[in-house]
Homo-oligomer: A and B are copies of this chain.
Amino acid sequence: MAINDLSKDLAPISSNTMADIVEIKLREYLKKKSFRPGDALPKELELAEALGISRNVLREALSRLRMLGMIETKKKRGMILARPDILGSFERVLDPLIIDNNTLQDIFELRLVLEMGLADLLYIRKTDKDVEELENIAKKEAKLDESFRIKSEIAFHGKLYDMTGNDTLKRFQIMLMPIFDYVLTQEKKPIRGKVNHMDLVQILKTGTKEDFKIGMQAHLQPHFDRINKIKTNK
């Protein structure tokens, strides 16, 4: 390695790097001491002294944990360990404009995988009222202009996730939706499977879980065909 690589390899330690280190140290500390949600943390001054760092750097690291929802400041009790919102920070970076194309394709596929796997939970938790609401969405859709296609897609598939009774899954799909839309709007013309939304509603009404799996597969088939084509072209 040449000498003049030195400045590249030995970048000065920035306050940001310090915040990274302190953030990791704080996490390790919380784990080692078995802090549980609701437990009060030591005061800032004590933490800064124990870590041998300035309060400014400590505050930067604490601010990060606060952003992730890992700590909260309560009146009178001071800082406590909180139950983080596990999807909150994920949401912050999920923007189609700043995600590279490979990851966009990955997320598109992730959503297809989720959709193909929903049937079992759906058939455990769906209610007649749910299916009725889903039917209403599919009925309205038939009368809509093509420009409302994506809105209705969101409503229909969103309701399916809703029917699984799993809040994390539902929020996750809401977050993934802009990515899905983004990929869909890149298409020249909309691709449609042989089974449409109304067909899926009918299956949920009178069909078995196995029927629904076959129906959903046919509904999403054009997307899998495209993935298969990309693979063959590689």
Residues on A close to B: CB < 8 A?
8, 11, 14-16, 19-20, 23, 27, 31, 34, 36-37, 56, 59-60, 63-64, 66-70, 73, 75, 81, 83-90, 92-95, 97-100, 102-103, 106-107, 109-110, 112-121, 124-125, 164, 166-169, 172, 213, 217, 220, 224, 227-228, 231
Contacts and interface: CB of A to CB of B under 8 A. Distances in A.
A230 to B, nearest CB: 9
Contact of A16 (B16, B63, B115): B63
Given A63-B16, A116-B117, A231-B125, A98 B84 contact: yes
Given A168-B103, A169-B113, A213-B213, A69 B86 contact: no
A98 B68 contact: no
A220 B28 CA distance: 35
Contact of A124 (B15, B84, B119, B227): B227
B124 A113 contact: no
Of residues A15, A89, A228, which shows the largest number of chain B Cβ atoms within 10 Å of its Cβ?
A89
A110 B169 CA distance: 6
Contacts of A16: 63, 66, 73
A83 B102 CA distance: 12
Contacts of A113: 114, 117-118, 120-121, 164, 169
Contacts of A97: 31, 34, 36
B89 A70 contact: no
Contacts of A121: 109, 112-113, 227
A98 B34 CA distance: 10
A124 B68 contact: no
B69 A11 contact: no
Contacts of A19: 63, 67
A70 B98 contact: yes
A89 B93 CA distance: 9
Contact of A86 (B8, B99, B115, B124): B99
Contacts of A94: 86
A63 B64 contact: yes
Of residues A97, A98, A102, which shows the largest number of chain B Cβ atoms within 10 Å of its Cβ?
A98
B70 A93 contact: yes
Nearest to A210: B214
